[in-house]
Amino acid sequence: MQRRKATFKLYPNASQQKTLEEWTRLHCELYNAGLQDRIEAYRKAGISISYYDQQNALPEIKGFRPELAALGSQALQQTLRRLDLAMQAFFRRVKSGESPGFPRFKSAARFSGFSYPAQAGWKLFQQGSRGATLRLGSGKNAMMIRARGQHRFAEFQPNDLTITRRNGQWFASVTLRVSDEVCARERSGDQQRGVDFGVTDWATFEDGTTIENPRFMRRELPKLAELQRQRARKKKGSCRYKRLTKRLGQIHERIANLRRDFIHKQTAKLVETCAVIATEELKPKNMSGSAKGTAENPSKRVRQKAGLNREILSAGFGMAHQMLAYKAVEAGTRLHLANTRQLKPSQRCCACWELTPKTLAERTHVCQHCGHTMPRDQNSAAVVLIDAYVISERNTPGTGVAVRSKPLARQRAKPRSKTRETPTTTALAV
Ligand SMILES: [Zn+2]
């Protein structure tokens, strides 16, 4: 069994939108009240309140706040669970010696939404290839919200539902549990490829072919900058300020959508044509480059640039790795993630396997030992591909890392139930 997420865009009418806003506000209120409760109990009596204490208090709360009943008890419980997770994360980080911020009270405007952990209180009806209707609530007060979206597993009923609001738009994400056979992708080729993900070219292969980096962000930068300039002249919190904020959000969202679409298509193409894909494990630290500039030439707007770096680099590569991982499983492709520290693919020579130290700026690999010359990224791709073979020949782990990580905190914290035994697929590979 595999779990797959599908997201639908919602098109609520005016009154439905009002209800969604209202429900989000109530969920937020519950979250804040739960937090308040925990803080007070601890301050006054030194007691820590558990999730179950709060869950058991829900019926009583619903007694004097009858408007909460329409939200569904499971959804309310889920919001309390969300608070519990925030607290757990806080204490875990304190324990491990970090200095995390205490979970905060949230404003209704920033509260992202709410979820239903099981198939109760809602139903999704698929119509045709893209159309859908989401029923929220039950009885005569149920809302039928128009939705659009598509996934590969049309005949499967989703398991849980999360409603989120982003830039004033509403989305419904559902989790589907599908069998391995249904997830399977057909593979059209048996190539064996090494790939190096980078900034100049999005991907470089061991034979020197590349996939250009589309740089969706860069194309929109002048427009973003102009809007930001305009907004800086407006009074904070004014109508015009808000309008510009909304437009900025829309552009950022469009960039994110384009990027996600690009990565989906490229990773799908890769796993469908390859029997083996070798690449480096993810190393976000190396990537976030020079936002601060150098000592002689410090760059301005460090934070903005850092933000940009983050967006262009880590988001894209993290996403690509995740998608490669689960799609490789679906296509039966072996994904090899080389251990960067041990292997040093950018310094190792793919011809003689010796190391030639070089800086980030040196774009060509010239081997000190055998004289082999090759573009830097192509050499790295070739090195990780060879590394993938070390595994199969000697039948040892080589430098490859097992990417099957421990279950996510969210799943660990959830009480065990009979129906959900499969971890999410995003952290899954080989
Ligand atoms: Zn060499």
Q: Ligand 1 centre from 376 Cα, in Å?
A: 13
Q: Ligand 1 centre from 386 Cα, in Å?
A: 14
- Angle at Cα 273 formed by Cα 424 and Cα 178, nearest 5°? 30
Q: Ligand 1 centre from 203 Cα, in Å?
A: 23
pTM: 0.76
Mark whether 175 and 115 lie in a shared domain: yes
Q: Strands across the sheet with 113-116, in order? A: 113-116, 158-166, 169-178, 2-11, 143-148, 131-136, 122-127
Q: Ligand 1 centre from 369 Cα, in Å?
A: 5
Mark whether 304 and 345 lie in a shared domain: no
Mean pLDDT by 10 residues, the chain (430 residues): 88 94 94 92 86 91 88 92 93 89 89 91 86 86 90 81 91 89 85 88 92 84 91 92 91 89 93 91 57 54 60 70 89 87 87 86 89 92 86 45 34 36 37
Q: Ligand 1 centre from 276 Cα, in Å?
A: 24
Q: Ligand 1 centre from 192 Cα, in Å?
A: 22
Mark whether 358 and 311 lie in a shared domain: no
3-state secondary structure of 38: helix
For residue 89, being part of any structural domain is answered with: yes
3-state secondary structure of 35: helix
- Angle at Cα 357 formed by Cα 356 and Cα 358, nearest 5°? 115
Taking Cα atoms as reference points, which of 376, 373, 3 lies closest to residue 177?
3
Copy the structure tokens of residue 48. Answer: 């820590």
Furthest CA-CA distance within the chain: 80
- φ and ψ at residue 94, rounded to 5 degrees: -60, -45
Residues 6+ apart with CB under 8 A from 403: 281, 325, 335, 337, 427, 428, 429, 430
Mark whether 16 and 159 lie in a shared domain: yes
Taking Cα atoms as reference points, which of 287, 309, 290, 289 lies closest to residue 299?
290
Taking Cα atoms as reference points, which of 76, 78, 69 lies closest to residue 139?
69
Q: Ligand 1 centre from 198 Cα, in Å?
A: 23
Mark whether 9 and 158 lie in a shared domain: yes
Taking Cα atoms as reference points, which of 167, 122, 177 lies closest to residue 147?
122
For residue 291, being part of any structural domain is answered with: yes
For residue 31, being part of any structural domain is answered with: yes
Mark whether 138 and 240 lie in a shared domain: no
Q: Are 176 and 156 within 8 A, CB to CB? A: yes
3-state secondary structure of 173: strand
3-state secondary structure of 261: helix
Copy the structure tokens of residue 40. Answer: 């007070």
- Domain end (from 158, 180, 202): 180
Mark whether 16 and 125 lie in a shared domain: yes
Distance in angstroms (rounded) separating the CA atoms of residues 32 and 143: 26
Number of separate domains in the chain = 3
For residue 120, being part of any structural domain is answered with: yes
The three-state (H, E, C) secondary structure of 188-245, written as one string: CCCEEEEEEECCCEEEEECCCCEEECCCHHHHHHHHHHHHHHHHHCCCCCCHHHHHHH
Give the sign of the dihedral formed by CA 416, CA 417, CA 422, CA 424.
Answer: negative
Distance in angstroms (rounded) separating the CA atoms of residues 356 and 373: 11
State residue 309's pLDDT score: 64
Q: Ligand 1 centre from 365 Cα, in Å?
A: 9
For residue 417, being part of any structural domain is answered with: yes
The one-letter amino acid at 223 = K
Residue span of the structural domain in which 299 resides? 212-273+284-325
Mark whether 34 and 153 lie in a shared domain: yes
Mark whether 114 and 176 lie in a shared domain: yes
Q: Ligand 1 centre from 195 Cα, in Å?
A: 19
For residue 387, being part of any structural domain is answered with: yes
Residues 6+ apart with CB under 8 A from 248: 224, 227, 228, 231
Mark whether 33 and 163 lie in a shared domain: yes
Mark whether 141 and 56 lie in a shared domain: yes
